[in-house]
Every structure is written in C-alpha cells, then in structure tokens.
Homo-oligomer: A and B are copies of this chain.
Amino acid sequence: MGLRQDILLFNVESEEELERINTLAKKHRKPARVALRINPDVEAHTHKFITTGKKENKFGIPYPEVKKIIARRKNYSKVEIMGLHLHIGSQITELAPYREALEKTMHLLKELETESNYHPQYLDLGGGMGIIYQNEEPFTPHEFAEMVTPYIANKGITLILEPGRSIVGNSGILVCKVIYRKKGVGKNFLIVDAGMNDLLRPALYGSYHQILPLQEKKNSQEVYDVVGPVCETGDFLAKERALPSLKEGEFIAVMGAGAYGFSMSSNYNSRPRAAEVLIEEDKFYLIRRRETYPDLIRLEAIPPHLQGE
C-alpha cells in the first residue's frame, strides 16, 4: 500500500505557526495543506504528562481562536485549511473523553459552517488508544467505531485516526538478564542488565510493566523489586513483584515495551543502547545492532590544543 500523500497535512498548533507556514509556502511557491489543531479542553483521565487536550496544555488552539482564524482564512493565501485536528492524550482507555471531544468539535463545526461557510474535508481525531499493561480495560476498536460513526456519517468528512501505542505497545518486549539477586533490609532486589536508560516509563510515569521469566517456572515465588544497574534509585523496572526464583544468568521479559521503550532510551551512565530484534514466526532478524562504546563517542572531537593531555 502506498503512502496516501493526499492526507499529509501539517497539524498547526497556533496562528503564529499558520503564518510561518504561509510565509514558507509563498517563498517556495508551493501551497501547503494544513489542519488546525484545536484544544478541546477535555480530561482524558491518563497520566498528567500525556494528557494533551486540556486548556492549560501547550497543545492546540482554543475554540474562539479557531473561529477567528477560519473567518479570516483567506488572509493565508498559500495555505489550505483542510480540516481540524485534535489530540486528547495517550494511553486512553475510556470512550467518554473522545465522545466529549467529538461533541464539542461537531458543535464547533456547525458554528464554523454557519458563521464562516467553512466545511472541513478531514477530521483527525487524535488521542492514543490504551492497551493492557496490568488490569486496564480499554475499549475495543469496534466499540470506538460504533461511538464515532454517528457523529461523522454522511457529513462528507474523512476521519483520520492516531491509534498510537495500540499498534505496537504489546508487540515488543524488553529482554534482560539477571545479574544478581540481592537481599536488602526487608526487600529483595533482582538486579538485571537493563535499566531506566533502556525503559524510562516506570521512572518517568510510574508505569506498570508485567515481568515474566523467559522460561516457565513452577517453583515458589518471592517478592522482588526489579532494578537496573544505573546509579540512581529511580532506576527500577518493577516494584514488589511476586516472581519465581530466578538464578543469575537467567532471563526475564519486561512486557509491553513496544511503545515508548526504545524510542525514549538514552545513553545515561554511558550505557550503549540495546539491540532490536524482529521475530517473525520462528525466525528472527537483527533490525538494529547493539550499540558499542565506540558508538558512544563517535561524534565527539577533542580540540587540537587539548589532545595528548
């Protein structure tokens, strides 16, 4: 399937950005197609860092501003405003925030039609669909479709969606090796060779990731904090997990690492980033080789007068 070039739009966050794009379009003599990202002021009930559609967030244009921009859209002669975009957050498990955002958007569209004779060709209903990390009960794609369809059916609008992590989140795991088991005071630690630099979500969002031994084990369970070798207490992958007894050198899988896993990874503590491996049926392919120490300093240069010191 080829890329649908016709739905490639700049989602514009502010009138300043619209002006910038219009200026660049003029300069390059190439009309630009955009959507206005509106701020629906909706609470998506997700982590505060990934709620993106509330009025106090940096994202999107408030409704009154959208109306003003659409009213004077002819001023932006090199820009075609193809539709509206909204995005209410990430890892959303309830339909209600989408419904609320849609209600508001449909109301706005009616006003834009009445006041400015504006009819959008596209509506990009963003907001990433939630997945199961622990005990979430996200809506299904079918339920989503049933909710959305009545709003946009027969309105001549093409819907664009941004399913986000639901495409890849649960298709990736982070495999780590047990380095040590360690008894602390009143706590057991499973020290593994992956850390917060490989998977930042637990430290940054307090996220839960399921931990499974790579080989099924029937032995009795103990409660562990699963931690990495990085030099801070924020370096944990899981807290207080009942796990079967695991020996040094055995492997665990940190589940749900396919989204916001490698993409947020860093070289913190001078740790080369992990390899990425694609599994297809019974075959595997190295699709990103493991970083090496030379990779870490490859872009560095010592000024001539400091060399050899």
Contacts and interface: CB of A to CB of B under 8 A. Distances in A.
When all copies of this chain in the complex are counted, the total is 2
A234 interface: yes
Interface stretch (A47-55, A66-74, A215-223): A47-55
14 contacts: A13-B182, A13-B191, A16-B180, A41-B185, A49-B233, A50-B233, A51-B233, A52-B231, A52-B232, A52-B233, A58-B182, A59-B233, A200-B204, A203-B204
A233 B180 contact: no
A250 interface: no
Interface of A: 13-14, 16-17, 20, 39, 41, 48-52, 55-59, 62, 90, 180-182, 184-187, 189, 191, 200, 203-204, 225, 227, 231-236, 248, 263-270, 276, 278, 280, 285-289, 291, 295, 299-303
A247 to B, nearest CB: 11
Given A263-B270, A285-B301, A287-B300, 9 more contacts: A16-B248, A17-B180, A52-B232, A57-B184, A58-B191, A58-B225, A58-B235, A203-B204, A289-B299
B263 A268 contact: yes
The interface centre, meaning the residue of A181, A232, A266, A288 with most chain B CB atoms within 10 A of its CB, is A232
A94 B136 CA distance: 43
Contact of A58 (B17, B227, B286, B287): B227
A208 to B, nearest CB: 17
A62 B184 contact: yes
Contacts of A302: 287
Nearest to A48: B233
